[in-house]
Amino acid sequence: MALAGGGNMRSFLHIALCLSLLIVPWGVAAADERPEPLWDVTIGSKVLSTAVSPNGAYVTAGTDSNGAMRLFDGEGTLVWEVPTGSPVFQVSISEDGKYVAGASDKVRVVDQNGKVAAQIEDNGFFAYSAAISPDGEHVAAGFDNHVFGVYSVNGFAEWMGTLGDDAASLALSRDGRYLVTGSKDDNVSFFADQGTLLWSYETGETVGNVALSPDGGYVAAGSMDRTVYFFDRDGTLLWKYNTDDRIFGVAVAEDGERVAVASGHTVTLLDHNGEELWAYDAGTTVFSLSMTPDAGMIVYGTGGNDKRLVALEGEKIRDTGGQGPITTPVFSRTGEEENGSKYLADSFALKEHADPEIADQSDGAAVTDISRRTADADSTVMVRMTVDAAWVAAHGGTGQVKIAACLPGEDGNVTTDAKVIPTRFVGYDPEDRLIFEGKSPYPLTTYGVVAVSGDAAPIGSFPAIPTLPVFPSA
């Protein structure tokens, strides 16, 4: 699916914002200064959850009623919509906009083309919360059986645990190393690698919203006791901010310099010390909130009689280096004619590995998915290939299996010389063939599955995968 354009409007918006910097410096708000909407769109359903990419190029929303996950570009134009059939309680987006995670009847990971790349479930229990790490490598999920965990973006469990009650909200640090949970047992909890609990703090009621600054240094938590709690990474409570209404959203900027709060009809921006900078009356109940790391853009969603998604001008805490107007990345997935046997190489030579064992079609070898970062034919490639479990076992197990890319010659044609590319095992397809994913630095070419070395693997040596992902079609 081609993403929406609008470069001229982006340029105009960028120029307008730059001119505003010359008139009133960001971060020095006059007492009567009122933030202005950058755009707003009518949704037609209560917006239960929102998330915005760091550069403001993408906004995602999860809705009530029949439920749907939606992705918008930086000007509010709909890019794709994925129906869920159930309310979407929390959404999260990677910093490059490539993946969106949403919690509903299950956790769905949707790629940039609106295709479901993975589904995370726990024995049919409902998913109340989901978060994706900004680097796009990890997904956190919380279910209504008190179970929560961190998974790869492909849907495979990295670690899991249980809380005293359901996780109502989750937040991951940029690299997925730290996880914050807000749960119905009134606790804010901070976990490190493999589920190690570093600290926990009990509030007065259910913690329905948590946010983690991108650097992982600060935590904001919105409790049903109408209080925002602000902590450092060590769990020290730095301040509390009391509201008059139920809190539906919190967000934290880089270095904890700004905290945004949605409560009742109001969006409030606080400084690092919890002091109010401004309050914006949305005119109806605000059910969700998110903010860019520089605090320059705040996105909120409403419900009631006025169901809208609104991008609000925030208060920029620092100059981001003049990155220019917001641009929307372009992704391209190859068509069916560029998969299967056409791009399978079953005869080639590896200079770094003498006489490699090469899997052919009779061994279940196939190219199942090819994607490029941009529509440019010279763009680097992500490729997925399958091979039979018996072949993998006979050649030393998953650690010995790699994807090889045939090199282009000087004339641009594919040669029989090949190199191993970075490869990882990502799961099983419906026929129980093993799936491997490779990241190729070369333009589109032909690919093969090879075993670089290793003795036969013992029976039962393959990883147990608790959830079978639904991979996007080519």
Domain CATH code at residue 85:
2.130.10.10
pLDDT band at 369 (very low <50, low <70, confident <90, very high): confident
pLDDT > 50? residue 6:
no
DSSP state letter for 344: B
Residue 376 lies in a domain: yes
Residue closest to 417 by CA, chosen among 446, 384, 437, 438: 446
Q: Are strands 414-421 and 349-350 parallel, antiparallel or unpaired?
A: parallel
pLDDT > 70? residue 8:
no
pTM of the complete model = 0.65
Asked if 315 and 26 count as a contact pair (C-beta separation under 8 A), the reply is yes
Residue closest to 64 by CA, chosen among 49, 42, 82, 45: 45
Q: What is the pLDDT of residues 400-444, one digit of tens each?
A: 899 999 888 777 678 888 999 888 887 777 777 888 888 888 888
Is 282 in the same domain as 363? no
Q: What is the pLDDT of residues 90-101, one digit of tens each?
A: 999 998 888 999
| 235 Cβ contact partners less than 8 Å away, ≥ 6 residues apart | 190, 198, 199, 200, 201
| 74 Cβ contact partners less than 8 Å away, ≥ 6 residues apart | 10, 55, 56, 57, 58, 59, 326, 328
Asked if 302 and 285 count as a contact pair (C-beta separation under 8 A), the reply is yes
Stretch (H or E) spanning 382: strand 381-387
Residues present in the chain in total: 474
Residue 1 lies in a domain: no
pLDDT > 70? residue 19:
no
Asked if 139 and 127 count as a contact pair (C-beta separation under 8 A), the reply is no
Distance, in Å, from the CA atom of 440 to the CA atom of 376, rounded to the nearest integer, reads: 15
More reliable by pLDDT, 268 or 342: 268
Is 119 in the same domain as 244? yes
Stretch (H or E) spanning 389: helix 389-394
Confidence (pLDDT) at 372: 63
Residue 460 lies in a domain: no
More reliable by pLDDT, 29 or 407: 407
Confidence (pLDDT) at 31: 39
DSSP result, 359-378: --GGGT-EEEEEEESSS-TT
Distance, in Å, from the CA atom of 285 to the CA atom of 307, rounded to the nearest integer, reads: 9
User: Last residue of some domain: 262, 286, 313?
Assistant: 313
pLDDT > 70? residue 194:
yes
Over residues 253-282, the mean pLDDT reads 95
Residue 117 lies in a domain: yes
Q: What is the pLDDT of residues 290-307, one digit of tens each?
A: 999 999 999 999 987 789
Q: Which residues pair with 139 in a beta bridge?
A: 132, 151
pLDDT band at 354 (very low <50, low <70, confident <90, very high): low
Q: Report the range out of 31-35, 70-74, 457-461, 462-466 with the highest average pLDDT.
A: 70-74
Confidence (pLDDT) at 180: 97
Please give the C-alpha separations between residue 291 and each of 92, 132, 144, 255, 413, in angstroms, as whole numbers: 12, 15, 27, 13, 47
Using a 10 angstrom Cβ sphere, with 0-12 exposed, 13-18 middle and 19 or more buried, the burial of residue 32 is: exposed
- The answer to which of 55-59, 222-226, 285-289, 405-409 has the lowest mean pLDDT is 405-409
Q: Six-digit token pair at 86?
A: 């159930």
Confidence (pLDDT) at 350: 84
Confidence (pLDDT) at 298: 96
More reliable by pLDDT, 166 or 329: 166
Distance, in Å, from the CA atom of 266 to the CA atom of 257, rounded to the nearest integer, reads: 20
Q: Report the range out of 5-9, 64-68, 321-325 with the highest average pLDDT.
A: 64-68
pLDDT band at 319 (very low <50, low <70, confident <90, very high): low
Is 175 in the same domain as 308? yes
User: Last residue of some domain: 313, 340, 364?
Assistant: 313
Residue 463 lies in a domain: no
Residue 92 lies in a domain: yes
Q: Six-digit token pair at 49?
A: 């959850």
Asked if 170 and 181 count as a contact pair (C-beta separation under 8 A), the reply is yes
Asked if 223 and 207 count as a contact pair (C-beta separation under 8 A), the reply is yes
Residue 318 lies in a domain: no
Confidence (pLDDT) at 150: 93
Is 295 in the same domain as 366? no
Over residues 311-318, the mean pLDDT reads 86
Asked if 308 and 301 count as a contact pair (C-beta separation under 8 A), the reply is yes
Is 196 in the same domain as 223? yes
The torsion region of residue 396 among left (phi > 0), alpha (psi -120 to 50) and beta comes to: left
Is 284 in the same domain as 345? no
Asked if 369 and 447 count as a contact pair (C-beta separation under 8 A), the reply is no
pLDDT > 60? residue 331:
no
Is 261 in the same domain as 299? yes
Is 300 in the same domain as 268? yes
Residue closest to 433 by CA, chosen among 384, 377, 365: 365
Alpha helices, DSSP H only, in 192-333? none
Using a 10 angstrom Cβ sphere, with 0-12 exposed, 13-18 middle and 19 or more buried, the burial of residue 192 is: middle
Distance, in Å, from the CA atom of 218 to the CA atom of 170, rounded to the nearest integer, reads: 14
Is 259 in the same domain as 175? yes
Residue 471 lies in a domain: no
| 446 Cβ contact partners less than 8 Å away, ≥ 6 residues apart | 343, 344, 345, 348, 405, 406, 414
Distance, in Å, from the CA atom of 262 to the CA atom of 243, rounded to the nearest integer, reads: 10
Is 275 in the same domain as 132? yes
- The answer to which of 1-10, 153-162, 166-175, 361-370 has the lowest mean pLDDT is 1-10
Distance, in Å, from the CA atom of 275 to the CA atom of 283, rounded to the nearest integer, reads: 23
pLDDT > 90? residue 381:
no
Residue closest to 259 by CA, chosen among 267, 250, 248: 250
Q: Six-digit token pair at 167?
A: 């996780």
- Residue 354's domain comprises 332-451
Is 380 in the same domain as 305? no
Is 227 in the same domain as 350? no
Over residues 191-200, the mean pLDDT reads 90
Residues of the chain above pLDDT 90, percent: 50
Confidence (pLDDT) at 175: 85
Quote the radius of gyration of the chain (alpha carbons, Å): 24
User: Last residue of some domain: 255, 278, 313?
Assistant: 313
Q: What is the pLDDT of residues 205-216, one digit of tens each?
A: 999 999 999 878
Asked if 57 and 333 count as a contact pair (C-beta separation under 8 A), the reply is no
Number of domain units in the chain: 2
- The answer to which of 153-162, 219-228, 345-354, 374-383 has the lowest mean pLDDT is 374-383
Asked if 50 and 61 count as a contact pair (C-beta separation under 8 A), the reply is yes
| 314 Cβ contact partners less than 8 Å away, ≥ 6 residues apart | 35, 258, 260, 269, 291, 292, 295, 296, 297, 298
Residue closest to 356 by CA, chosen among 311, 400, 301: 400
Over residues 225-241, the mean pLDDT reads 96
> Please, what is the average pLDDT of the chain?
82
Confidence (pLDDT) at 32: 47
| DSSP SS3 for 230 | strand
Number of H helices, E strands in the chain: 2, 38
Residues of the chain above pLDDT 70, percent: 80
